[in-house]
Structure 1
Amino acid sequence: MKVKNTNKRILRILQAILLIGTLVTTNVLFTMVTKRHIWSGQYVLDNRVGQSIVHTKVNATRGMILDRNDNVIAQQVTAYTLVAYTDKSNLDINGNPNYVKDAKKTAKALKKVLKDIDVDKVTKIINHSKKKKQLQTELGTGTKRLSKATKKKIEKLHLTGIDFVETINRTYPTTPFASNLVGFASYDEDKQEIVGKMGLEQSMDKYLAGKDGEVTYQQTVSGSVLPGTTNVIKQEENGDNVKLTLDQDLQNTVESAVKQSYEENNAESAWCVVMEPSTGKVLAWCSYPSFNQNKHQTIPTFTNLISESAYEPGSVMKPFTFATAIDTGVYPKDKTYRAGSFAYVYDDATKKITRTSGETPYPVINDAMGEDFGTVTFDQGLAYSSNVGICELLANYINYKDYGKYVKNFGFYQKVGTPYLNEVAGQKNLSMPMGYLNSGYGQGSSITVLQLLQAYTSIFNDGKMMRPYVVDSIIDPDTGKTVKKYKPKEVGQPISSDTAKEVRELMSHVTDEDASGAKFAMDGVDMVAKTGTGEIYDTETGKYKEDIYTSSVMAAAPQGNPKVMVYWGMVSTNYINYSAEPFKTIMKAALVSQGVSGSDGNSSNDEDTTYDKWESYKMPSLANHSMNYADEQLAGKKVNVIKIGNGNNVIDQYPYADDTINSNDHVFVLTDGDTIKMPNMKGWTRKDITAFWQLTGISIQTSGYGKVKSQNIEAGKTITSSTHIQVELK
């Protein structure tokens, strides 16, 4: 009995030894093949220390670029690069084969998510890696620095042998966003970090990039960091955040409007800048052709049209010629001249330009499009954009040396010096009589848009010229403290405050009904403006192009104290019948962004209420309703209601139902009453007068342009269809 029990005990011991031996042997064999413990899953090589200490760089996080309200324009994010395992010996954590078996099939599957990849190229890369017996390979264009969302989509494909390596990338949440100004940064494979390649990303790289750190550690044979051996030699310093003056909402509106102009007119280029004239703070900056900053492999142009491209702007230069004449006290305000064409001779001895009706060796200067305005005042000459008027001022009133001095003081033909922008100076050509005359209306000499913006601040800011700037501040991302702050910079006062106001008054008539900028007029906006049509010099032929021109408009509102200025332009063959709606969209958005209306806030009509903030509404349907209902519908809307007649019910209205109305607009309500009183028309526009006329059937005789300054019938008096009403606009 004892012998049997002993034998059983020995048998159990032998079985246990055999089982343990089998398990140990299995683990050893599994570990030899997979380099991983069968139970823990840990790589055995991780416990073997390498022969050397590893020195490695720790990348600093690149700073963000923000708009003026701290909305993110550019930021660094975690990204993922695709890799394909191509060695058959590669196994996953469960010991299953983990390599790409069918390269073509895998590439086609990836194409479903990554639309930009080339299936044949990806297939070739994978097969080449297999042939070279490489463990893994990256997959080339379109598979690097993918977003987290894209990574998740690929993971759902469950592709064997496809994995991700974590990396970093620069992204632009909203793009295009001032692409030629902000530029872009991308991952540099050689430097193994994100580097600014264009625009502010490049010029401000030293602030944005930060300073990399350095660590040392001991490494296992498999390449893992041995715990407890990491030593920080140098702590990384993250890049500073850069806050711009741009307004994201306004910028997005400008981007859309400029793109519309660019595409509708088949333009070679288009641009727009919105700025505060009192500070030089740029609120929006856009030029086309543009590009997606997240996909910058193909960029139409690296040139920033606003500061790096010189052009002949055309008639937007005329206000500076007028300003020179006014400021030097020689402006012939009450005199007239004969428009149409200007033929002249030049006396080299006296340096005198004299208008002539005889033959001349010099090219005759004509008003644009062959227009002949007849005999006009110089004030009218600016409104009509008469080239001949400019020639008269330069030949007969303005001193040549004075003109050169003022041109210099306005900052033309010299770099502006806006921080972090590349610039060109343009080219001055005033030495010969033709160049001198041409420059007065924006031809023959070239400037930049940036120079023009700076110069116009003196007109819109009562003589004080402000340098445009786009960077508001540089901020430490860790402490939130401001490292560097940029403030408005006055760079001169080329003209007096009185001169600036007088030029603005002249410019206020450019959008009058029969003036050169009539298409840009906006209801409810007291705007000053100047249009420009510029010829384009062809350097190859040495002549001006005959079928393509620069079309632009510089405007500011409100007239008395401009809060915003907008310069919109394009280069296109459509220089006559183009739409002004993109410009109007931008101007309205600019006023909204600044929280102001387009009115000066000093209506001459005592019965009007002036509202400071711009708001837009949809006009309600009032006809066939009571006046009480009309009052309720219009309550809260910042408009001035003109009730026509003494009735209690509405029979007609203007504007019509569903039309857009804006702050400070006049809304006309015609009632069923028998008696109509003469309204106070002071401050009314020609459109207001027409609306009253059409609703009442009472004709009104007008003279002048602008807004009503006087009326022959006293407000409050009863009027009928036989009443003779006269109003003067000014």
Structure 2
Amino acid sequence: MVDGSLLPGTLNVYKEAIDGDDVILTIDSNLQSIVEAQLQETIKANNATKAWAIVVEVETGKILAWGNYPTFDQNNPKEISNYMNDMTEMNLEPGSVMKPFVYATAIDTGVYPAGKSYTAGSFTFTQDGAGKIIRVANGTDTGYPVINDALGENFGVITFEQGLAFSSNIAICELLANYVNYDQFSNYLDKFGFYQYVDIPFVPETTGVKNITSASDYLSTGFGQASALTILQLVQAYSAIFNDGKMMKPYVVEEILNPHTNQVVEKFEPEVVSEPISAETAAKVRELMAGVMADGATGDRFKIDGVDIIAKTGTGEIFNEETHKYDENNYTSSVMAAAPGNDPKIMVYWGMQSTNYLGYSAEPFKTIMQAALIANAVNGTAQASAPQEGDTWATYTMPALINHSIEYANEKMKDKNVKLVMIGDGNTVIDQFAKEGQTVYSYDRVFLLTNGNTITMPDMTGWTRKDITAFWQL
């Protein structure tokens, strides 16, 4: 009938839904749980209104965990106040985490003033007839806004290396006014992929806003204000610094499988987007970022005992859409970090928005970084990334050892600098981890399950989560 009710004797046909394909993510579920818990702790401990964290494998771009808070319960759709993914859709003025890209531009174009000094504190400027920015004496009325170092700091006369360690805005102004020119900086912002779609599959994005037309906005963009970007853009750009100049596209979908045939419908592989800087430039920027972690520098609070970290911190002003002014008490606080410092494997970007921008706790970041290193069997110490004389540091392809004798396995593994763990007292290998064809690294644990019935509990002191998981799975 016209009202949709059924007439007696008519046939009602139901069409059952057909299951779609399975989507396999790059996300490590255990690490994701830790990130989620630490974001809650960030909100609680720092009275923050927003918090986020993302963990990425440097050499591949795989996103191992990501999250932002406050979140929502999908079972209560009426309570969802914000559907936006802050990682890809929030336009963010990130603050000083942008500064390494100014240094990278200066180094890559051959104009970086290594070892030279400048006067910090305040930057008063005007422009000449050709538009060049000219620094003038403080107190001069030029009609342009004076740029200051954060919190009214005045570091006096310091080197540009110290300028990054102390996060001096004036170092950026000096570099952009007297060494790097407008066209160079604009070009490198484009080369690093800022204000463009990262084009990550299946995830909605915004592009941010490139705002460098005026002199003050040009200078401010160099220390992370005036122009707005997305967190995913920032992560992709930093991969070039951490990965010897090769910029990796972040991705979160590993593959799509047909659940009925188990056939791969689509597979996603690591992708080098471009090489915006040379490997030499990347190494120099990493060296400068190591100074950020020095005693008394801005990264001091993010130190982790026994872990060699390079980082750049950021404190950013937040533009209030209602007042059309920057908030006076609410700021973005964040850190972009990677470990081990001289051969980064894992990168973490953690941040929040809060009125507590001076004495906030860095413990959530530390917990996430430590968990990420453990979950991926990465030794974060300087010794691991820089072997001493006589040590070896290499990668190996795991041979097929299943159904072979213990003697054969020992022979095949004797030239590999790994730690063999035999499970059981048998004489034949019946399972192995890592699997045939997988890559293993120096000092990794390799587990061989034998056909013996007696299993002795090993000493697991110092084992990673990955090691313990492999043991119990075997």
TM-score bucket (shorter structure): 0.7 to 0.9
* Superposed counterparts of 1:253-268, under 5 Å: 253-268=34-49
* Superposed counterparts of 1:615-634, under 5 Å: none
CA contact (8 A) 1:591 1:614 kept: no
Task: State the one-letter code of the partner of 1:498.
Answer: E
> Structure 1 residue 435 and structure 2 residue 217: aligned?
yes
**Among 500, 504, 521, the residue aligned to 2:282:** 500
Distance 1:416 1:513 in 2: 36
Distance 2:359 2:315 in 1: 13
Task: State the one-letter code of the partner of 1:57.
Answer: K
**Among 115, 134, 152, the residue aligned to 1:354:** 134
Task: State the one-letter code of the partner of 2:368.
Answer: I
Report the Cα offset of residue 53 of structure 1: 4.2
Report the Cα offset of residue 542 of structure 1: 2.3
**Length-normalised TM-score, structure 1:** 0.52
* Superposed counterparts of 1:519-558, under 5 Å: 519-558=301-340
User: Structure 1 452/605 Cα, relative in aligned 2: closer, same or farther at 3 Å?
Assistant: same
CA contact (8 A) 1:528 1:556 kept: yes
> Structure 1 residue 58 and structure 2 residue 30: aligned?
no
Distance 1:528 1:302 in 2: 33
Match of 1:246 in 2: 27
* Superposed counterparts of 1:325-724, under 5 Å: 325-347=106-128, 349-357=129-137, 358-600=140-382, 601-603=384-386
Per the alignment, in what secondary structure is the counterpart of residue 57 of structure 1? coil
Per the alignment, in what secondary structure is the counterpart of residue 445 of structure 1? coil
Report the Cα offset of residue 603 of structure 1: 4.6
Deviations 1:515-558 (A, max 9, x none): 01100011111111000000011222222110000000000011
Distance 1:469 1:515 in 2: 33
**Among 273, 284, 289, the residue aligned to 2:70:** 289
Match of 2:456 in 1: none
Report the Cα offset of residue 52 of structure 1: 4.2
User: Structure 1 326/356 Cα, relative in aligned 2: closer, same or farther at 3 Å?
Assistant: same
CA contact (8 A) 2:340 2:385 kept: no
Distance 1:51 1:604 in 2: 82
Per the alignment, in what secondary structure is the counterpart of residue 436 of structure 1? helix
> Structure 1 residue 313 and structure 2 residue 125: aligned?
no
- Range that drifts further, 303-312 or 534-543: 534-543
Distance 2:157 2:183 in 1: 29
CA contact (8 A) 2:313 2:335 kept: yes
**Structure 2: gaps (5+ residues):** 1-7, 394-417, 419-441, 446-458, 464-474
Distance 2:390 2:151 in 1: 44
Task: State the one-letter code of the partner of 1:58.
Answer: E
**Structure 1: gaps (5+ residues):** 1-49, 61-237, 616-634, 640-730
Per the alignment, in what secondary structure is the counterpart of residue 283 of structure 1? strand
User: Structure 1 608/584 Cα, relative in aligned 2: closer, same or farther at 3 Å?
Assistant: farther
Report the Cα offset of residue 371 of structure 1: 0.9
Deviations 1:481-534 (A, max 9, x none): 111111111111100000001100100111111101100011111111000000
Report the Cα offset of residue 297 of structure 1: 3.6
Per the alignment, in what secondary structure is the counterpart of residue 56 of structure 1? coil
Distance 1:499 1:526 in 2: 20
User: Structure 1 522/355 Cα, relative in aligned 2: closer, same or farther at 3 Å?
Assistant: same
Report the Cα offset of residue 51 of structure 1: 3.8
Distance 2:40 2:462 in 1: 32
Deviations 1:680-711 (A, max 9, x none): xxxxxxxxxxxxxxxxxxxxxxxxxxxxxxxx
Report the Cα offset of residue 376 of structure 1: 0.8
- Identity across the alignment (%): 52
User: Structure 1 255/636 Cα, relative in aligned 2: closer, same or farther at 3 Å?
Assistant: closer
Match of 2:58 in 1: 277
CA contact (8 A) 1:595 1:613 kept: no
Report the Cα offset of residue 346 of structure 1: 1.0
Computed over aligned residues only, the root mean square deviation of the Cα atoms, in angstroms, reads: 2.1
CA contact (8 A) 2:343 2:385 kept: no
Match of 2:82 in 1: 301
User: Structure 1 636/541 Cα, relative in aligned 2: closer, same or farther at 3 Å?
Assistant: closer
Task: State the one-letter code of the partner of 1:355.
Answer: R
User: Structure 1 603/493 Cα, relative in aligned 2: closer, same or farther at 3 Å?
Assistant: closer
Distance 2:391 2:21 in 1: 51
Distance 1:553 1:374 in 2: 25
Per the alignment, in what secondary structure is the counterpart of residue 200 of structure 2? coil
Distance 2:38 2:391 in 1: 33
Report the Cα offset of residue 455 of structure 1: 0.5
CA contact (8 A) 1:240 1:475 kept: yes
Per the alignment, in what secondary structure is the counterpart of residue 344 of structure 2? coil
* Superposed counterparts of 1:146-165, under 5 Å: none
CA contact (8 A) 2:342 2:386 kept: no
**Length-normalised TM-score, structure 2:** 0.79
Per the alignment, in what secondary structure is the counterpart of residue 48 of structure 2? coil
Per the alignment, in what secondary structure is the counterpart of residue 14 of structure 2? strand
Report the Cα offset of residue 606 of structure 1: 5.7
Distance 1:585 1:614 in 2: 22
* Alignment length (residue pairs): 393
Deviations 1:566-605 (A, max 9, x none): 0000010000101111000000001011111102425576
CA contact (8 A) 1:458 1:464 kept: yes
* Superposed counterparts of 1:87-166, under 5 Å: none
Per the alignment, in what secondary structure is the counterpart of residue 428 of structure 1? coil
CA contact (8 A) 2:307 2:339 kept: yes
Distance 2:391 2:39 in 1: 36
Per the alignment, in what secondary structure is the counterpart of residue 15 of structure 2? strand
Distance 1:636 1:605 in 2: 25
Match of 2:469 in 1: none
User: Structure 1 614/365 Cα, relative in aligned 2: closer, same or farther at 3 Å?
Assistant: farther
Deviations 1:223-261 (A, max 9, x none): xxxxxxxxxxxxxxx211111110000000000011100
Distance 1:521 1:613 in 2: 24
Per the alignment, in what secondary structure is the counterpart of residue 58 of structure 1? coil
- Range that drifts further, 273-282 or 289-298: 289-298
Report the Cα offset of residue 293 of structure 1: 3.4
* Superposed counterparts of 1:5-44, under 5 Å: none
Q: Which has the larger radius of gyration?
A: 1
Deviations 1:27-56 (A, max 9, x none): xxxxxxxxxxxxxxxxxxxxxxx8444422
Task: State the one-letter code of the partner of 1:59.
Answer: A
Deviations 1:68-111 (A, max 9, x none): xxxxxxxxxxxxxxxxxxxxxxxxxxxxxxxxxxxxxxxxxxxx
User: Structure 1 339/257 Cα, relative in aligned 2: closer, same or farther at 3 Å?
Assistant: same
Task: State the one-letter code of the partner of 1:505.
Answer: E
- Range that drifts further, 473-482 or 546-555: 473-482
CA contact (8 A) 2:106 2:180 kept: yes
Report the Cα offset of residue 559 of structure 1: 1.5
Distance 1:317 1:614 in 2: 35
Task: State the one-letter code of the partner of 2:341.
Answer: Q
Distance 1:473 1:486 in 2: 6
